[in-house]
Structures are given as C-alpha cells and as structure tokens.
Amino acid sequence: MDIDVKNKILAQFSLFRSRYDELEKYYEKKKRPLSFSGKLLTIKGESFFSHALMGQKFDFAYHNCGLAAYPEYLENNPLYNETDSCLSPIQQQILKEAFDKFIYKEDPFSYEFKNYRGLWMWGLSAETQERKVHKEYTGQYGDYLSLCVEDYFEIIEELFTRKEFKKIVIEEYDHQIVFSLLQGNFQQQKVSRNLDPLERRGEISNFFLKLLLAKHFVCDHFQEKICRLCGTNFWPQMVSEWPSRVPPDYCAICLEMAFSSSTDFFRLMSFSDQERRQNFVSGIKIFTDFFGFIPAVGTTKRRLITQLRRTGVSGEDLDLTLMTSALLPWHETAKKLFGSWAHLLEEAQLLENQQRGRGGHRSFGSDGHLCLSMGERAICEFLTRKSISHIKEPMYPKDEKLNPHGGLRGDFLVGSIIIEFAGMMDNKEYAERMNQKKKLAKIKKIPWIKIEGSGLEDLNLMLEKIQSLSTTF
C-alpha cells in the first residue's frame, strides 16, 4: 500500500511541477518575461502570481564580505550596514560603550548564523514565533536582541531618556516634487526631521543589531545545489521560505507548491474543468492517505510542514511530505468547483459511513516505532524529541459492552495516559469508534488525550495536556 501511495504522490507532483516549466517556455516564446512589473497572468479567467516564477533573481542573504550578492549576478539589497546610520558620532559612541557591557543569557544567534548563514533574519523570525517571542517593542529587527541580551529593553529605555538621544535627525526626501525652471526637470528635495519617540527607540535597537552583526556574523556563502524534488539547480539564498522550516535542499518553485495557496495555476493550465475536479479529488485523497487525517478547510500547509520538520522528520519522508502538501487543493478554488469544502470531501468519499480500508504512509520513527501515518509519526517524533518515554499501540482494558474481546488499541501510552491521533473525525463510523474509546477511558478512569489533524500544527498544546494530566513530567 505504501508503494502505491508513494507512486501516486510522485506521478501527481511531477505532473503539476511540469506546468511551471511549460509556462516558462510559453512566455519565452512570446518574448514576454514573467515579472511582477508586468500584468498578472490570467488563465481561464483567473489571475494569479508566482513569487518563484515572476520574482527577480534576488539574493536575500545579508553579506558583510564586501560583495553585494553571491554569485554577483544576483540582485541584492543589503539591510544592515554599520556605517549607514543617522545617529551622530557621539550617539554612536555611547551605544558602542553600552553594547560592550551587554550580559548575554544565551549565545547571540550562533545557531541561526551557522544554520541559515546569510538568511539568519528569516530563520530567526520563524524561530521566535515558535518561542512565542515577537517584535513588539519598536517593531524593528533589532528587537530580536531581547532573546539573548539581559534586560535589553530596559537598557534602551535608559538610553532613550538621556539628553543625547532627545533628538535623532534624519534626512529624507520630501514627498512633494519641486519643479526647477533653471534645470528644466523635476527634482526631489531632501528635508531634515527629528524622529518621533518610537522611531528613536527603533534606531537605537537597530544600531545594537548592527554592532552585533559586525562582531559575531561571518559571511559564509552558499553553494549551488540540486533540488531534491525536481532535480533543477538553484541557489539557496534566492529562496527565503526554507529557513527554520526545511533544509536548504529545495528550489523556490517546489517550496512554493508545498507552502503556498496562491499557486493554483498549475491546476488550471491545460486542464479542463472535469480534469481539474479530478485533480482536486485525487489530491485530497492522496493527502489523507499519506498524513492519516482528513484536512479541514483551514489546514495551513506551512505550519504543518514546519511542525513535522521540527519533530525530526527528514530525508525521503520530508520529500514526500512536501510533494503531498503540493497536491492539497486551495479551499477557495475548491469552493468554486464543488460548491464547498464539504462537497469536495463527499465526492472524494471521505465522509462515507464505512471504515476506510486504507492506511496512511507507514514509516519508522527515530526511536524505532512503526507509525501508521505521518500524523502518528509527527506525534512520535515530538515525544522522542522532548525525551518523553512512550509506548506504541497500547491495549485498552476489557469491558463487557465497550470492549468485550479486548481488541481496542490506542496510538500512544505516556505513563498512564492514552493518546489517540484522531484524524478521521469527519468519517461517521470512525468518529463513533473514537467516542467509544473515550467512554471506555472515562469508565476505567484512564487519562485520555485526543489529537485531531489540526492539532499537528502545534504539538506543544499536546505537551501542555500531558503535563496537566500527569505529575511525572
């Protein structure tokens, strides 16, 4: 069964991926480059855009090696330059002295610098979301230093109140255009203004970040790679989607297919409406078979893949995860073709009142446990990563009515807690059996946790439930 599911994934993904190449070749013949600066592409009356196809060849990495980009033919817009500041020499000196007194509560972004290299900012941004830390103080990237510096915001507040920082002047272009009769053209006129309080705090915070980059960040260039999914050559610094989500082994187009809901054109191009409907039905069936749960209308590909990767899923399993994600229909287009997401599920026979005879994608976790779907695999890897001892396929106790033959099994046992991955709750018979297990656990006074498909996007919530039901952790 696994081989059958795998072959379906590969065939469908390859078909969809080839549409990108066909589209590029089509516009090359038309001598009309794909670009955001031109008109949006329209296929069968539906407009769309693709960052991977229509964006400029841009180096998103930060460089402090003297190169504007690597390789040099890529376009680049350096975000941080220590000499580029509107702070006066006196203000800069004060901040440098304060910076030298920083007390670090952890290494200053050494993990991000090593793993994401010049794309440390994108990796750091995603990492802080996982740690529930956001840029709330000034809204500037310098606020990230609060993750590694003791009393960071208090330091900025103390500096902000000093007389030397009552005024930070910036020169900028006036929005009004002044017409010069002497030169006979339009000119923009620069004006000076004092930053408002929030902007002054942000300028202080960002300058500290520039100092930290100058001290700790060493430019380490990426090398050209071959995409694991499609075999094309690409430069990892051209793709800002992968940091902290997946390794830098996948090209921009394949990641756009896996992550985004805005790339429906590969389902539109050269397909009739009937073929499009078939693609949607096939895609959601394959997704359900692989992950082991029926996707809800609000299933977020990006969060799901990020969670799976952080639990430890890698290699071929991660490849299949990305390809399968690319097959999941976008809910808005599904609504247009089927009337609603529920109608799509019904046509895919995912709501029928009989037990589905298919299992999910089977794989072995890093602890050796056999997992019957990628949903189970995500939970198993998460428990292993958190050093939580667990048993696979625990037996429920016998009960005259609810479990007369003693054949009911759970998915995981943590201490005395049974954890069920309930991915098919839209299926009537499946839901009835899950409710049967819930009643049995209640009667036998067994701590019981149910994780539905949407719960895979944040397994920390499962950990909180485990901790609340047990005194062991």
> Per-residue pLDDT tens for 85-134?
889 999 999 999 999 999 999 889 998 999 899 999 888 887 776 565 55
Q: What percent of the chain has pLDDT over 70?
A: 84
Write down the pLDDT at residue 336. Answer: 85
User: What are the pLDDT digits (tens) for 189-216?
Assistant: 667 888 999 999 999 999 999 999 999 9
pLDDT digits (tens, 9 = 90+) for 217-260: 998 999 999 999 999 999 999 998 899 889 999 999 999 999 88
Using DSSP's 3-state secondary structure scheme, residue 390 falls into coil
Taking CB atoms within 8 Å and a gap of at least 24, the contacts of 406-412 are: 408/436, 408/437, 408/440, 410/437, 411/376, 411/379, 412/379, 412/380, 412/383
Looking at the DSSP bridge assignments, the partners of residue 286 are none
Instruction: Classify domain 363-469 at the CATH topology level.
Output: Endonuclease; Chain A (3.40.960)
pLDDT of residue 185: 53
Alpha helices, DSSP H only, in 30-145?
51-54, 89-99, 110-116, 120-130
Of residues 13 and 32, the one with the higher pLDDT is 13
Break the chain into its structural domains and give their ranges.
2-53+227-347, 89-216, 363-469
Q: Output the pLDDT for position 268.
A: 64
- The string of DSSP letters for 417-434 reads EEEEEE--TTSHHHHHHH
- Model confidence pTM above 0.85: no
Please tell me the predicted confidence (pLDDT) of residue 134: 53
| Contact status, residue 466 vs residue 413, Cβ threshold 8 Å | no
- Mean pLDDT across the stretch 155-166? 95
**Distances in whole angstroms, Cα of residue 218 to Cα of each of 109, 242, 339:** 12, 20, 53
Give the pLDDT confidence of 164-187 residue by residue, as tens digits: 999 998 876 655 444 444 455 555
Instruction: Give Cα separations from 412 to 304, 314, 380, 467 (angstroms).
Output: 20, 22, 8, 15
Provide DSSP, 154-165.
HHHHHHHTSGGG
Torsion sign (Cα): 421, 425, 426, 429: positive
Judged against a pLDDT cut of 80, whether residue 325 lies above it is answered with yes
Residue 109: count other Cβ atoms within 10 Å of its Cβ: 23
Whether 235 contacts 74, CB under 8 Å: yes
Over 80: is that where the pLDDT of 82 sits?
no
Pair of tokens at residue 38: 């031109």
pLDDT digits (tens, 9 = 90+) for 256-302: 999 886 556 556 666 788 888 888 899 999 999 899 898 988 788 88
Instruction: Give residues with Cβ within 8 angstroms of 286, minimum separation 6.
Output: 5, 8, 9, 12, 324, 327
Residue whose structure tokens are 């090209």: 251
The predicted pLDDT at position 470 comes to 79
